[in-house]
Structure 1
């Protein structure tokens, strides 16, 4: 159902499977299954997770998967009740997203500019698209070759749940893409017709990946190397941190929340609102350190 009706990505399906397998194992110790478990059984599982020291976010995610499964079983007539309906999840604070300053992003771009050859051209195109469009890394690496051509000046992105959106690109990003397209053919796999046919469909093909395109892991390594060249802490630089930086920098420079929601591809604006908290924290810190009255 999650795959066919909700269009969930493979990573999402894998996460649900792991969470449900863990709870199913805990229920089996109590001689319970998904069809026989009751609310006390599920509460005992959550209590066990807490004793084991699982993070509240992990426990909450597993409870969310369990709730969805029981709603499915109820809708399909496999159960006459939903034992998870009244259960409360663990209290947890929502962590603020990690971001980079505009100066740190500039340093990253300067390091990319210093790279030579086709590798440097590809890195600059990847970085420009990621920061100019705020894409998820899974969206970036799997961009089809015609993602730009289908709408000049914008990028056609297919995100979570198969939702599509158009992302406007900056002139430097468009120029970086044009530069990459001039040398892209040289990166296509040689001597393997089946792999070549698959790779031709992607903006960033890969000769080593079975998918035919650059993988998330490969791009993460590229970004870490770039961070080291820029004298930044590689542990604090990732594709998702750049996505956070994209959203935060837009809001800091006057963009409205609804526009940022659309650009990020968030289904619910509450997901986007976390970035306003980042700005609030920065403004609060600014007042506390820079305002004359704060020094009295």
Structure 2
């Protein structure tokens, strides 16, 4: 290097996570669930209302949610109170409940003219795809949370998966129940997924008298 010449500086690469919120997406609060639901009902958006309600009740991953078929949720022209699907990630079944509100939205959507002869609950508008994509589902979630004034970078599809599970854990402290409902093979996965802290675990232990 010639005397007096400063060494060349390499341009800094912009960090991929700069300006983004990293980590687990927040679950929705009950009042936020009802706010989104009310907006979808007022807008008469039958598909999105059914999708949102099923996402909350089923606690399914997005990849399994978008693949739901009408036959998974409806039998003999009635919505099932309980349903079971095989999880694509681990190949094992998981069961979930459908509340009355969700069952009503399912049947309203299934009987809509737009659903005539479609096998999938949420068919794609593109002829080369049988159902909506997980990416499209993610965009819908972003639109839903934005519509009630939430910052979209803090929420995602896993927010809906975690919402009811987090509320069940908060009210019962029953990790095993939440593990079964989420379809986790290990309770450790449930602990990490819910972000359970040591203080939570100790509080649960203190309520168990042996």
Q: Into which bin does the TM-score normalised by the smaller protein fall? A: 0.7 to 0.9
Q: Higher relative CO (CA 8 A, sep ≥ 6), structure 1 or 2?
A: 2
SS at match of 1:273: helix
Provide structure 1 residue ranges, at least 5 long, that are not aligned to the other structure: 1-52, 56-94, 189-195, 285-296
Deviation at 1:149, TM superposition (A): 3.0
- Residue deviations 1:37-89 (CA, integer Å, cap 9, x gap): xxxxxxxxxxxxxxxx999xxxxxxxxxxxxxxxxxxxxxxxxxxxxxxxxxx
- Aligned-CA RMSD value: 2.8
Provide structure 2 residue ranges, at least 5 long, that are not aligned to the other structure: 1-14, 18-22, 204-210
SS at match of 1:114: helix
- Residue deviations 1:107-142 (CA, integer Å, cap 9, x gap): 2222222222xxx11111001011112111111110
Runs of 4+ in 1 over 3 A off after TM superposition: 278-281
- 1:173 corresponds in structure 2 to 102
Q: Does 1:239 align with 2:167?
A: no
- 1:266 corresponds, among 171, 178, 184, to 184
Q: Does 1:113 align with 2:31?
A: no
TM-score, length-scaled by structure 2: 0.73
Distance verdict in 2 for CA 1:229–1:142, change over 3 Å: same
Distance verdict in 2 for CA 1:217–1:261, change over 3 Å: same
Distance verdict in 2 for CA 1:255–1:169, change over 3 Å: farther
Contact kept? 1:209, 1:215, Cα under 8 Å? no
Q: Tell me the distance in 2 between the aligned counterparts of 1:229 and 1:96.
A: 21
- 2:120 corresponds in structure 1 to 202
Bigger Rg, structure 1 or 2: 1
Contact kept? 2:25, 2:155, Cα under 8 Å? no
Structure that is richer in helix per residue: 1
- 2:30 corresponds, among 88, 95, 102, to 102
TM-score, length-scaled by structure 1: 0.53
